[in-house]
Amino acid sequence: MGINLIADLLAPTLGPISGHIASQRDTRGPELLDDSGTVVRRILSFGDPRVDVGAMLMRSLVWHTAERVGDGGATCAVLARAIYMDALRMIAGGINFRDLEQGIKAALEAVCANLAENAMPVVSEDELSEVAYTVVRNRSLAGMLGEMSHLLGAEAKVNVQKYVAPYLEREYHAGANFGAEIASYLLYTDAARKQAVQTDCAVALVASNLAEAEDVIPLMEAALASGAKSLVIVANNFKDAALHVIVTNEKAEKKKLSVLAAKIKPVGEERRYALEDMGLLTGATVLGQGFTPSPRRAVPEHLGKALRVEVDNGQFRLLPERQRLIDAQPEVEIIRQRLASMPQNDEGRPLLMGRLASLSGGMGTLKVGAIGKLEREVLSENAERAFKVLSTAQLTGVVPGGGAALLHARAALKEVKFDGDARYGVQLIHDALAAPLRQILVNAHVPAPGVIISRVQEAGPGAVYDVLEERVGNAMECGVLDVAGVVEIVLRTAVSTALMALSTDTIVYHKKPQQALEP
């Protein structure tokens, strides 16, 4: 029953003509939602443990799908329900579950292979904008998202900033981006903009606090000995005595060296990786790590170089020499391999994704604003979701949208042949693949959905039903597209969840269940 409740709740949000879900938030009044991930986060319990078991399973499925790829939660719920209910009926009729599972899994692999084979590459800014529009439903925002994704690439790092006024703008930053802040406002090169910039500078990296003058002076002497005119020092923190030396130097009338000091913000393992990545991009030795010399023993060979360093608004942007980016590629490949083998809900993924973006080069800031707090939150969340979708689109391509790709993938099931009960698993997947398109048609109040489904299938693998125009047409011409990687993940997650629900015989209720922020 819980599975049906969640699927019924989310199903009306599918498609361009869809409904919203009203959620009452204490005394603040209701909020209207159409994002499945946000909707399920509002659901804590239906008050009956027997209902909650299925509901919370579906809640977890939708939540993690949205977190992983930014979209597809409602489609996943509709598919999982269709597979689960049909399988339950077959098992009740005497079909062996293990044979049924065998057929389902074989059909799943055939469909996923078909999706990958028929995916169309996304190469232009306009195509990316069309994909973004399917998420944000705002042409101006979609156009900007498409531009940023096109220019920055699939592994781009984009920060979304919210403004308390109608606003939409973007900035691009070449190079790597790290969390750091200036050690003293007296070191700003542009006090009005609260920004400090150094070009063609030496770089010193220190994995400890700089407390005394003796910790800073050797770094400055090493920079002068190397012929540098400016020096950027990055350290955990700067105590008064060390900072006094730097500030005094900056205020001197005839200084030989311009010095910028920045305090790195991440802590723990993230700090260690940030310093190591800075070292990789500049050629600097990270001093004071225990196995490396202390900053008091610094020599020119310990310093690195950067074409440009900017510090403002809590961000440290570093533009490395081109050769350094080339030298970083082996580490980039290692990170990509680790990400490929890592579960999407692994806590280590955000750190690796940030490192990959920094070492690959290219960053951006998207600035969105609205007068109302709720509207600002929706804009920001939709933009972040869209960037996940666009990243996957660049890596996996696009397929006909609106559930059409799954419908066309039925053709692959003709090659999956079984005797016995396993053949019913193949038939089950065949029938379930039409569920998302059927729900979209129902939401749009299209008469005779079965007839439309047949027309789309007969029109060929590139056909979709354009709900807004009320016609069957080519996916690219209609701009009705889905991301191949998202569709595959949605289908795999739906099948996995349905099989888990079908194969679970016993549920243990904890008297005092552990509380968690995530399902």
pLDDT band at 361 (very low <50, low <70, confident <90, very high): low
Q: Which residues fall within 8 angstroms of residue 456, CB to CB, at 6 or more apart?
A: 404, 407, 437, 463, 464, 465, 472
Nearest to 259 by CA among 236, 235, 277, 283: 235
More confident residue, 69 or 438: 438
**Are residues 276 and 202 located together in one domain of the fold?**
yes
Q: What is the pLDDT of residue 87?
A: 94
pLDDT higher than 90, residue 433: yes
CATH code, 499:
1.10.560.10
| Residue 456 · residue 464 · CB < 8 Å | yes
Distance CA(418)–CA(99), nearest Å, equals 10
Same domain? For 314 and 368 the reply is no
Cα dihedral 426, 431, 437, 442, rounded to 10, equals: -160
Mode of pairing for the β-strands spanning 471-474 and 167-173: unpaired
What's the pLDDT score for residue 19? 66
Residue 289 lies in a domain: yes
pLDDT given at position 46: 75
Whether residues 41 and 183 fall in one domain: no
86 and 207 inside one domain: no
The answer, yes or no, to whether residue 518 has pLDDT greater than 60, is no
91 part of a folded domain = yes
In a domain, 188, yes or no: yes
| Segment 319-346 mean pLDDT | 82
Q: 444 in a domain, yes or no?
A: yes
Same domain, 183 and 316: yes
For residues 114 and 150, membership in a common domain is answered with: no
Is residue 17 domain-shared with residue 116, that is, in the same domain? Answer: yes
**pLDDT above 90 (res 259):** yes
> Which of 109-123, 352-366, 424-438 shows the lowest per-residue confidence on average (mean pLDDT)?
352-366
Residue range 141-152: mean pLDDT, rounded: 87
Mean pLDDT of the chain: 86
Half-sphere exposure of 306 (CA within 13 A, CB side): 30
* Predicted confidence band of residue 229 (pLDDT cuts 50, 70, 90): very high
Number of domains, the chain: 3
More confident call, 61 vs 502: 502
Report the sign of the C-alpha dihedral through residues 442, 445, 451, 456, in that order.
negative
Judge whether residue 55 has pLDDT over 70: yes
Mean pLDDT is lowest, of 173-187, 261-275, 318-332, 333-347, for: 333-347
Longest CA pairwise span in the chain (Å): 91
Same domain as 372, residue 420: no
Task: Provide the domain limits for residue 73.
Answer: 2-120+399-503
Percent of the chain at pLDDT exceeding 90: 43
- Residue 275's φ and ψ, nearest 5 degrees, are -65, -40
- The CA distance from 177 to 185, in Å, is 20
Q: Given a cut of 70, is residue 22 above it in pLDDT? A: no
Q: What is the mean pLDDT of residues 378-386?
A: 87
Say whether both 320 and 201 belong to one domain: yes
The answer on 416 and 384 residing in a single domain is no
Is there a domain that residue 61 lies in?
yes
103 and 18 part of one domain? yes
